[in-house]
Amino acid sequence: MKPDVLSLVFRRRRMSGKLEKKLGLGTAIALSVGTTVGAGIFTSISEVAGASGSAIITILAFFIGGVIMIPQNIVMAELATAYPNESGGHYVYIKNAGWRRLAFLCGWAVFWGNDTSAIAIVALSAVQYFAFLLPMPDLAIKIAAVALILAFMFLHICSVEGAGKFQTIATAVKLVPFILIIGIGLFYIRGDFLAAPAIAGAPVGLAALLAGISATSWSYDGMGAACYMTAEIKDPKKTMPRALIFSVILIIALYSLLSTIITGILPLGDLISSSAPLAEAASHLPLLGQISGIFVAVSAIIVISAACSGTIMFQPRLEYQMAQDGVFFKTFGKVHDKFKTPHVSIALQCIIASLFVFISNIRELLGYFTLVLLLKNTLTFVTMFVHHRKKDYDPLWRAPAWLFMTVVSILSSMILVVSTFLWAPLAGLICALLVVVTGMPVYYIWTRSSAQKKDAG
């Protein structure tokens, strides 16, 4: 009798197992684009318009906000090729800079404050849009969200290649609704909407542009997802730079065109006050107007489901790498002999996320960890100065004008850190203290245990 899937997933495996390089350029791009273009784009245009105060500044904010992300992706590409056989993204780069405690604290905060809860939130968001088409009670929504999580869990455990192909297809499909709005909307743009003066009381000039750029930061967050799976990327010397640079250019084009269409279709006041700007814009287009609600709901299901799949695919690699380094729960470092995936790390994250689905107000919990999680990005870019002083630092691909790229990356990352701190300073400080107080004792226990084992060996 063949073993069932659950027994394959949880069968005991050796820690010596390693991940294999099975993913190509298409999957790396799909991970970056699929993770970045998620639920946020359905509402972020209203927030950027409100911060910018005019249509032209809104469009410029999306364009420039994306352009300043290019240096970040270039820096991440160099770091990824410097450690081509390690997964885990930011954790790996901070650790290899010699800042092991900080690397651990970042990973500790990410696991408890972001990874599992993010899976739960994304799954719930996708099912809630489905409930718009087929109304269902809250309990049914939560059960459906858990079913979605478990379905993606088995997909990503049982085949990294199959999961990669699915992610590539899903990302291509999720771009179709946006392309439709852009393609149809081009014929209905109103020049007077685009040229309208700033709304009364809004900032003007450089102040408006900086406010708008800051508001776009959330829309561009997530493009480093492929860096969490570098150990599974084929030919990282070519694949990582191409994937990260192409992804940011594609997303800049998408967001710039989308913001142009929407600000050219909707009066700015209506756009700013709208809680569903894409649905509002679709309702003004002749071919989509009568089915705008259904169109946006179906689009959201596709877009957010692909983001859920990508999240489940890349996030567990961080905890896998920490476990391999002996600074996380040992079981997370296991690799399935047959599937060559970090099956335990994927399964446990999804199981915890399924439990989180039934916890109310989980979005409020995420707010406490936002500042700490954003600081890890800035810290990662700062490590470039340390890496470039190391004699054994030899990346497969080097960033052009690395010093300039690094400085711009740090400054652009700090924009979001500062704005987040101003938004919720107490919550950020409380979380930082919580991470240190809970994380440091655990770190010393794990490192001491690893040292004792080495001595005994």
User: Among candidates 149, 9, 28, 147, which has minimal Cα distance to 84?
Assistant: 28
Instruction: Please tell me whether residue 23 adopts helix, strand or coil conformation.
Output: strand
Task: Give 39 or 33, the one with higher predicted confidence.
Answer: 33
pLDDT of residue 364: 53
Q: Residue 207 above 80 pLDDT?
A: yes
Options 3.20.20.150, 1.25.40.420, 3.40.50.1400, 1.20.1740.10; CATH of 5-456: 1.20.1740.10
Task: Give 13 or 430, the one with higher predicted confidence.
Answer: 430
Rounded to an integer, what is the distance from CA 349 to the centroid of its chain?
16
Can you tell me the distance from the alpha carbon of 227 to that of 15, in angstroms, rounded to the nearest whole number?
22
Joined together, the tokens standing for residue 270 give: 């209506």
* Residue 368's pLDDT band (cuts 50, 70, 90): low
User: Among candidates 4, 20, 5, 27, which has minimal Cα distance to 242?
Assistant: 27
Can you tell me the distance from the alpha carbon of 28 to that of 24, in angstroms, rounded to the nearest whole number?
6
Contacts of 390 (CB under 8 A, 6+ apart): none
Q: Taking CA 313 as the corner, what is the angle to CA 256 and CA 355, rounded to the nearest 5 degrees? A: 105
Q: What tens digit of pLDDT does each residue of 51-90 get?
A: 899 999 999 999 999 999 999 999 999 999 999 999 999 9
- 142-151, 199-208, 372-381, 399-408, range with the lowest pLDDT: 199-208
Q: Residue 277 above 90 pLDDT?
A: no
Q: Residue 45 above 50 pLDDT?
A: yes
User: Which residues on neighbouring strands pair with residue 233, listed in sequence order?
Assistant: 23
Q: Residue 3 above 60 pLDDT?
A: no
User: If you search the block for the tokens 């099956």, which residue do you land on?
Assistant: 343
Q: What tens digit of pLDDT does each residue of 377-427 get?
A: 899 999 999 999 999 999 999 999 999 999 999 998 887 777 767 666 777
CB atoms within 10 A of CB 146: 22
Among 113-117, 152-156, 269-273, 357-361, which range has the highest average pLDDT? Answer: 152-156
Question: What percent of the chain stands above pLDDT 90?
Answer: 56
- Mean per-residue pLDDT, 343-347: 96
DSSP output for 343-381: HHHHHHHHHHHHHHTTSTTHHHHHHHHHHHHHHHHHHHH
Q: Residue 185 above 60 pLDDT?
A: yes
pLDDT of residue 367: 56
Question: What percent of the chain stands above pLDDT 70?
Answer: 89
Query: Strands, DSSP E only, in 199-244?
Result: none
Contacts of 252 (CB under 8 A, 6+ apart): 62, 63, 66, 67, 69
User: Among candidates 357, 346, 351, 327, which has minimal Cα distance to 447?
Assistant: 327
Mean pLDDT score across all residues of the chain: 87
CB atoms within 10 A of CB 290: 10
Joined together, the tokens standing for residue 133 give: 């088409």
Instruction: Please tell me whether residue 456 adopts helix, strand or coil conformation.
Output: helix
Based on C-alpha coordinates, what's the Rg of the chain?
Answer: 22
pLDDT of residue 12: 40
Q: Residue 7 above 50 pLDDT?
A: no
Joined together, the tokens standing for residue 345 give: 């790390």
